[in-house]
Structure 1
Amino acid sequence: MTISNIESFVVGRWVAPGEGAREIENAVTGAVIARAGNDALDAAAMLEHARRKGGAALRAMTFHQRAGMIKALALALNEKKQALYDLSFASGGTQADHMIDIDGGIGTLFVFASKGRREMPNGHVYLDGDTEQLGKAGTFLGQHVCTPLQGAAVHINAFNFPVWGMLEKLAPTLLAGMPVIVKPATATCYVTELAVRIMLDADVLPEGALQLVTGGLGDTLDRLTCQDVVSFTGSADTALKLRSAPNLLQNSVRFMAEQDSLNASILGPDVTPGTPEFDLFVKEVHREMTAKAGQKCTAVRRIIAPLAQVDAVIGALSDRLAKTVIGDPKAEGTRMGALVSNSQKRDVLSKAALIGAEAERVFGDPDNFAVNGADANAGAFVPPMLFHCADPDAALRVHDTEAFGPVSTVMGYRDLDHAIALANRGEGSLVASVITHDPQVARAVVLGAGAFHGRLYFNDRVSMKESTGHGSPMPHMVHGGPGRAGGGEELGGIRGAMHYMQRTAIQGSPDMLTAIGETWVPGSTQSAPEAHPFTRTFENLQLGDTLTTASREVSLEDIETFANFTGDTFYAHMDQAAAERNPFFPGRVAHGYLLISFAAGLFVEPAEGPVLANSGLENLRFLKPVEPGDSIKVELTVKKKTPRNTEYGEVRWHVSMTNQADELVAVYDLLTMNAYGT
């Protein structure tokens, strides 16, 4: 059999394995299929290349340009994902497992690309929150902004998801504007290497933006600074060793960890056999035990059920597990493949033995099980093993030992408080799920267990058809957890990018803040162009361009006509005595939406022009009532510009409405879609 050399990509070139290379085995056959690693890699050169070349090039791009780059990577991987599927069978997973890894990773890229375009500016500075007025006159303001760190992100990934594990870290990092050095687990680095080659061949990444180390990192961690980031997925022991490195501590290097997690699934006290929720619970737990042969950081390790339902849960789950065919993932009928290696098999069996000292194994005998189309002794096969812990309060190992394979333990609870206490015995997890049809059960779990879990997943007959499952971290939501789970965070939409940026408090005049954030701040310079701003194309509008309208008097007849025409005859508009009894109004007042309509009439240019559509109002506030006989006028200012495609962009206008005494009546943001010039 040919043994492949899995290369690293550093400082712009591919480097073959060398001294210190390790052998990689096929999980199904146990045969050596590849070797990876090279102790001669120059960590200093890698970091310098990332910081000087990759970082500078990425920071020169806008958030939108980086989002477009991420989308291009997703498209390139999607086009060639079959090759990734085919290669991944050697890792022991089934086709369904590969789809979780590969399609899940590609989907994560697409989500971050979309969120980058929709939720971040087409600029270089991300505004975090609103401005703060720090002085009485409004000439001294504060604003929190985020800018990319000027170092390198070192991603140390686990073996179980060689594609998704890389891409779920890579997407927010590139979006933030940091270069990446990826270090996959050696056992499955051959899949990661192919994915990196596909992305590099797409020719959209700046030089130095992505490097790959298939093997050890050498002294890389000893060379990091306060501008670098380490993101780690793996065991708690390894995480502790890495995060305790003196250089990381001395330089306050950001360190994120996703590590051991004794995730729990709770069967709600309202659920009994025969209900949709009971069947859903058994289906979810079975899937989490067998998908990726249980090698998922989010897999269910503890099954917490009402005491009265424990026997029913064991019976139903055992029936499903008995029908799960274990074997060669390429063989017809196989539903669960092998563990990643025989080394991992030995580790899982040793951990299962620890759990077995406190719990009875009620399903799955590692010494006697059938394997479909493969040699059980040569490959890294184990059966699903289900344990029952009769006294979970006295137990220790079932709450602190993670057998990273198809191993889970059923335990009973007396009441919901007891179930919550048992879930929290895990001392921090990535996810806990609750299958219940009672919203009050869900609320009680959030209040009692939220502090111990990074994600709480609730499911019932209403959401079961759309839900993505207990074990599926979604790129929109935070992935991570406290305590034993590592105390880190990944994903979470734009929150994920923030881990690779520095939040800085800036203070200064409105003009300073406008220039820094590329968003017009009230009080900063305004200009009055000769032409109506609605006649100017997207690219010709400038921040601060302002239209000040004429005044319009609001009459009692206007108010009554609007009330009768719309049907909004609320007493504050139609009943003088009732309005005077209201502490907010001096008497009858104009409708807020009448004022908004009159404002549009004051500032709109009616002729056909670059303004294509009004796409909405945001941040609307009514500040002072308008009485019959009052006058209003409007000031319309270009606040922000965001390109949307090659035909048009979004313009955000700051609208302030004042009365005859120049008192603010209303403020809001108006959004329009404006065409580019031809």
Structure 2
Amino acid sequence: MADSGRDGRSAVQNREHLFVGGAWIRPGIGKTIEVVSPHTECVVAQVAAAGPVDVDLAVRSARAAFDRGPWPRLDILDRVDVVRRLETLYDKRRPDMADLITTEMGAPTTFANRAQVSLPWMTMKALIDAAADFSWQEVRPGHYGQDIVIRREPVGVVAIIVPWNMPQFLTVIKLIPALLAGCTIVLKPSPEAPLDALLLADMLEEVGLPPGVVSVLPGGRDVGEHLVAHPDIDKVSFTGSTAAGRQVAAACASGLTRTSLELGGKSAAIVLDDADPETVAAGIRSASLSNSGQICNALTRILVPANRSRDYVDALSTVMSSMRIGDPADPSTEVGPLVTRRQQTRVRNYIELGQREGARLIVGGTERPSHINRGWYVCPTLFADADNGMRIAREEIFGPVLTVISYRDVDDAVTIANDSEYGLAGSVWTSDIDLGLTIAARVRTGTFGVNQGYTMDPAAPFGGMKSSGYGRELGHEGFAGFVDTKSISIGKP
């Protein structure tokens, strides 16, 4: 057990074992992952690192559990009962989970408690309820007069790979539908944020899943590559960068492995000239800068009418300048550190690039806040007078950096919004809801908000278009990604 940190956080356990098929075992490679606080830059935990041999063992265990074990063959109501026990236990451990996420990846504690932990818990509850409404089996009349039975059966052994930015939410929206569908699972969390996944493994052990149903393997790229390419994996569910997603898709294609990909974004907020600047700025604050801007569906291109550009830039500047930056364990903090020094350097390089490209720096910049002498911080940064051809307007930065782009008219705004390789999210801000819905239909994204950033509603399918990936999570569509459809025709005896 590690000592409690300088910031008064709960002590963090060093984890020497991997959770494989329901049991805690020593890793095959004998290496560890150092978990470093983005705020203090100090090691806060050491976690057992998985290797290819551990992947093989976990997949073999999952394969046996799927082919011969009870989990895929249980009635859906029996699986629901087990997952409901997990939800109850998760509710009790929410404070511990939030504390770990703040410690390992720097999410401000208020955001961690609300979005990083409470949102996954509420989503878990909603998915359990939705499982009762999903059409696991139906009978329909066939064209030739006989009945057709349509069964939706578990897809098999599922590899789940999640990033560090919203680790529990992105795990829950994959793990829970897969479990309810009857799949067996190998989960690979990010090496930057493995502690929350191991706490979840503790809960999975406690609820009493059959052997082999779930394994949790923290590890680096080699573990992910071996897992994705494994011949006994039936489905890969991946969230991460577009570059990594392309590699996953290629590996899955060679083995005809089913896959769903939720990738990057460069989402546009279209602000119409009837929208109140202060209201827009307050909404952008939440939709674009939560989690220190490390959210894939953040609204990072702010499209404003040229005749009112100054009004919206001034309002955004006021809001962004007022945001409190600091220790993520402090409940008053709104912007915490970025997850790694590498990510801090990446974001700072983009800020310097934006200035070289000719965008006007309004707020922020590359310097660490004056009251902070360590940690991987970047001040909220606003650019104006940008155009959509600049790299800061085209590439995903994944930090607290927003770019304001002026447009001539609504058609021009829609053209700019669609002029992106990405298509994950977007929004429109207007007092005319009907016009807002018309614009929503014209923008090529998988999710969209009218007078808000896209709300992650468990009942609504979430996913992207274009280079933002394919497949959907949440809603009934989220279950569909973890089942195969079988048709059975019935003739007369």
TM-based fold match above 0.5: yes
The change in CA–CA distance for 1:321 and 1:132 in structure 2 (over 3 A counts) is same
- Say if 2:427 and 2:440, in contact at 8 Å, map to a contact too: no
Between the aligned residues of both structures, percent identity stands at: 24
Which string of whole-angstrom CA distances, capped at 9 and with x for unpartnered residues, describes residues 221-256 of structure 1? 33235x6111111111111122212xx223310111
- Say if 1:270 and 1:436, in contact at 8 Å, map to a contact too: yes
The change in CA–CA distance for 1:224 and 1:360 in structure 2 (over 3 A counts) is farther
Matches within 5 A, 1:163-562: 163-203=168-208, 205-216=209-220, 217=223, 219-225=226-232, 228-245=234-251, 248-271=252-275, 273=276, 278-331=277-330, 333-358=332-357, 359-367=359-367, 369-371=369-371, 374-375=372-373, 378-392=374-388, 395-449=389-443, 452-459=444-451, 469-491=452-474, 493-509=475-491
The change in CA–CA distance for 1:29 and 1:172 in structure 2 (over 3 A counts) is same
Residue type at the aligned position of 2:417: A
For residues 468 and 22 of structure 2, the distance between their equivalents in structure 1, rounded to whole angstroms, comes to 35
Match of residue 53 from structure 2: 41
For residues 54 and 430 of structure 2, the distance between their equivalents in structure 1, rounded to whole angstroms, comes to 54
Residue 88 of structure 2 aligns to a residue whose secondary structure is: helix
For residues 346 and 126 of structure 1, the distance between their equivalents in structure 2, rounded to whole angstroms, comes to 52
Match of residue 535 from structure 1: none
- Say if 1:366 and 1:382, in contact at 8 Å, map to a contact too: yes
Residue type at the aligned position of 1:423: A
- Say if 2:108 and 2:331, in contact at 8 Å, map to a contact too: no
For residues 88 and 70 of structure 2, the distance between their equivalents in structure 1, rounded to whole angstroms, comes to 22
Residue 474 of structure 1 aligns to a residue whose secondary structure is: coil
Matches within 5 A, 1:633-672: none
Matches within 5 A, 1:127-142: 127=138, 131-135=140-144, 138=145, 140-142=146-148
Which string of whole-angstrom CA distances, capped at 9 and with x for unpartnered residues, describes residues 202-231 of structure 1? 33x222221100114262233235x61111
Name the stretch that deviates more: 431-440 or 183-192: 431-440
For residues 14 and 508 of structure 1, the distance between their equivalents in structure 2, rounded to whole angstroms, comes to 47
Which string of whole-angstrom CA distances, capped at 9 and with x for unpartnered residues, describes residues 403-429 of structure 1? 111111111111111111111112332
Residue 361 of structure 2 aligns to a residue whose secondary structure is: strand
Shift of 1:6: 5.6
For residues 17 and 417 of structure 2, the distance between their equivalents in structure 1, rounded to whole angstroms, comes to 43
Residue 473 of structure 2 aligns to a residue whose secondary structure is: strand
- Say if 2:427 and 2:453, in contact at 8 Å, map to a contact too: yes
Residue 63 of structure 2 aligns to a residue whose secondary structure is: helix
Residue type at the aligned position of 1:383: C
For residues 177 and 170 of structure 1, the distance between their equivalents in structure 2, rounded to whole angstroms, comes to 11
- Say if 1:176 and 1:500, in contact at 8 Å, map to a contact too: yes
Residue 301 of structure 1 aligns to a residue whose secondary structure is: strand
Residue type at the aligned position of 1:352: I
RMSD: 2.2
- Say if 2:461 and 2:473, in contact at 8 Å, map to a contact too: yes
Match of residue 552 from structure 1: none
Match of residue 23 from structure 2: 13
Residue 297 of structure 1 aligns to a residue whose secondary structure is: coil
Give 5+ residue unaligned stretches, structure 2: 4-12
Shift of 1:159: 0.3
* Larger-Rg structure: 1
For residues 455 and 73 of structure 1, the distance between their equivalents in structure 2, rounded to whole angstroms, comes to 29
* Matched residues, number: 474
Give 5+ residue unaligned stretches, structure 1: 460-468, 513-678
Residue type at the aligned position of 2:64: R
For residues 351 and 196 of structure 2, the distance between their equivalents in structure 1, rounded to whole angstroms, comes to 29
For residues 331 and 75 of structure 2, the distance between their equivalents in structure 1, rounded to whole angstroms, comes to 49
For residues 330 and 508 of structure 1, the distance between their equivalents in structure 2, rounded to whole angstroms, comes to 62
The change in CA–CA distance for 1:333 and 1:134 in structure 2 (over 3 A counts) is closer
Match of residue 43 from structure 2: 32
For residues 15 and 392 of structure 2, the distance between their equivalents in structure 1, rounded to whole angstroms, comes to 40
Shift of 1:355: 3.6
Which string of whole-angstrom CA distances, capped at 9 and with x for unpartnered residues, describes residues 545-570 of structure 1? xxxxxxxxxxxxxxxxxxxxxxxxxx
Residue 445 of structure 1 aligns to a residue whose secondary structure is: helix
Residue 23 of structure 1 aligns to a residue whose secondary structure is: strand
Residue 387 of structure 2 aligns to a residue whose secondary structure is: coil
Residue 287 of structure 2 aligns to a residue whose secondary structure is: helix
Shift of 1:332: 5.7
* TM-score normalised to structure 2 length: 0.90
Residue 165 of structure 2 corresponds to residue 155 of structure 1: no
Match of residue 134 from structure 2: 120
Residue type at the aligned position of 1:29: T
For residues 321 and 286 of structure 2, the distance between their equivalents in structure 1, rounded to whole angstroms, comes to 13
Residue type at the aligned position of 2:247: K
Residue 472 of structure 2 aligns to a residue whose secondary structure is: strand
As a proportion of its length, which structure holds more helix? 2
For residues 320 and 363 of structure 1, the distance between their equivalents in structure 2, rounded to whole angstroms, comes to 10
Residue 211 of structure 1 aligns to a residue whose secondary structure is: strand
Residue 484 of structure 2 aligns to a residue whose secondary structure is: strand
Matches within 5 A, 1:585-604: none
Match of residue 531 from structure 1: none
Residue 59 of structure 2 corresponds to residue 53 of structure 1: no
- Say if 1:77 and 1:199, in contact at 8 Å, map to a contact too: no
Residue 449 of structure 2 aligns to a residue whose secondary structure is: strand
Residue 265 of structure 1 aligns to a residue whose secondary structure is: strand
Residue 92 of structure 2 corresponds to residue 79 of structure 1: yes
